[in-house]
Amino acid sequence: MNPETFQIACYLPETILTNEQLAAIYPEWNAGKILEKTGIRQRHVCAPDECASDLAEQAAKRLFAAGQIAPASIDFVLLATQTPDYLLPTTACILQHRLGIPTSAGALDYNLGCSAYVYGLALAKGLLASGVASNLLLIMAETYSKHIHPMDKSVRTIFGDAAAATLLTRATAARIGEFVLGTDGSGASQLMVPVGGARRPSAGAACPEIVDESGNIRTDAHLFMNGPDIFAFTIATIPGLVKATLAKNRLALDDIDLFVFHQANKYMLDFLRKKTGIPQHKFVVDMEDCGNTVSASIPIALRRASDKGILKSGDKVMLVGFGVGLSWGATIITW
C-alpha cells in the first residue's frame, strides 16, 4: 500500500431509475426536459430491503478487495449518513462487526448531508494527527430515495442512492490542507424531513398529502426541499467560501488543478463555476448517470476523475460541499 495515496471505492445500488421511467409518471416532464433541468439521465435507488449499512458495506468491501488494506488494520470507522438503519444503535458500530474490523477500533456516525465529506476529512485529519487513529475508514452512505414521495418530481428527479469509502492514514492526512467550515441553522427547514425524529415522532403522526403550486405531492414524513432558497443560499455563500479557502491555504485560483464541488445539479454547478471564475476544464461535473448522491457525491467524483486520468498524482484539488443544515465547507487536498 502506498500510504500517501487517497484510496476511494464506491458502490451504486443495482436498481436504476431512468428519466424515461420518470417521464411516464410525470407526463408534463419528458425525459429531455428532466436532463435539461438537472443534468441527470438516471439515478440508482436502493431496493426496499437495502439500507445505508448495506451500501456502506459494499463500498468498504470493494476498498478492501483492491488490496490496499485489510479490515484488521482499520482502527476507526467514521460514517456519514442522514438515513441510518436505526435511530439507535450507530450504523458505524454495525458495520464494524459486519466488516470484521477489530473491536479495538472506534466507530461513530455523524449526521450531515452534502457537506459531510469535507467535514469528515476535517474530523479524520484531527483523529489521525492526534494519534487517536492510524488507519481510518471514512464512509458516506445515503438512501434518500426512502424519504421521497413517488409523486414529488422536484426531488425524485435529482437524488440517487450511493456509498463511498475512503481510506485515510497519517500520511494522507498530511496531504489535507486547511479548512473553512460554516453553518446557518436558520435555514434548517429549507431541506428537511419534518416527521420521524423526537420532535415529531412518526408513530401516530397524521401526515396528509400536500400538493404544492408546482403539482408535487409529499407529506411531512417525506423529504422537502425549497429549491429556490437552497439555490439562493448556495450562490450567496460558495463564491466567498472559495476565496476564503484559497486565502487560508495561501493559494491562488490558478494554483488549483481541479475543483470538485458537491454534485448538486448541473445548472447550479455551471452557475457557480462562472460566478467564481473557474475554467471549465478544471471543473468536475459528473452526475449524469447517478444523480445527486448527497454526501457521496464528492468522493464518487474524485474516484471517477482519477479513473479517467483527469486527476493525477500531485494535483491540488479544491473540495467544496454545501447543503442541508444549512452547512458548507471546503478544503484543498494534494492527490
Is residue 191 situated within a structural domain? yes
Residue 149 annotated to the active site: no
pTM recorded for the entire structure: 0.95
Q: Which of 19, 135, 216, 292 is catalytic?
A: 292
Looking at residue 78, what is its pLDDT?
Answer: 98
Residue 262 annotated to the active site: yes
Task: For residues 143 and 300, give the distance between their C-alpha atoms in angstroms, rounded to a whole number.
Answer: 15
Report the relative pairing of strands 135-142 and 106-110 from DSSP bridges.
unpaired
Residue 97 annotated to the active site: no
Q: Which residue has the cell 487536498?
A: 333
Q: Which of 46, 51, 114, 290 is catalytic?
A: 114
pLDDT digits (tens, 9 = 90+) for 66-100: 987 999 999 999 999 999 999 999 999 999 999 99
Residue 133 sits in the same domain as residue 272:
no
Residue 168 sits in the same domain as residue 19:
yes
Is residue 2 situated within a structural domain? no
Residue 193 sits in the same domain as residue 148:
no
Looking at residue 214, what is its pLDDT?
Answer: 87
Please identify, among 113, 147, 173, the residue that sits at the C-terminal boundary of a domain.
173
Residue 23 sits in the same domain as residue 163:
yes
Q: Which of 10, 135, 262, 290 is catalytic?
A: 262
Which segments within the chain are labelled E, that is strand? 7-11, 16-18, 42-44, 76-80, 106-110, 135-142, 162-169, 180-183, 191-192, 210-211, 217-218, 224-225, 258-261, 316-323, 327-334
Looking at residue 2, what is its pLDDT?
Answer: 53
Residue 311 sits in the same domain as residue 206:
yes
What is the maximal distance between C-alpha atoms in the chain? 56
Residue 100 sits in the same domain as residue 202:
no
> Other C-beta atoms within 10 Å of 73: how many?
17
Q: Which residue has the cell 498530511?
A: 174
* Amino acid identity, position 146: K
Residue 320 sits in the same domain as residue 245:
yes
Hey, what's the cell of 178?
486547511
- Number of separate domains in the chain: 2
Residue 190 sits in the same domain as residue 43:
no
Please identify, among 173, 198, 220, the residue that sits at the C-terminal boundary of a domain.
173
Q: Which residues of the chain have pLDDT under 50?
A: 1, 3
Looking at residue 6, what is its pLDDT?
Answer: 87
- Please give the residue range of the domain that contains residue 38: 7-173
Going from the C-alpha of 263 to that of each of 86, 136, 150, 236, 302, the distances in angstroms are: 27, 24, 22, 17, 11
The CATH number of the domain where 62 resides is what?
3.40.47.10
Looking at residue 4, what is its pLDDT?
Answer: 56
Q: Answer yes or no: are the C-beta atoms of 241 and 182 closer than 8 Å.
A: yes
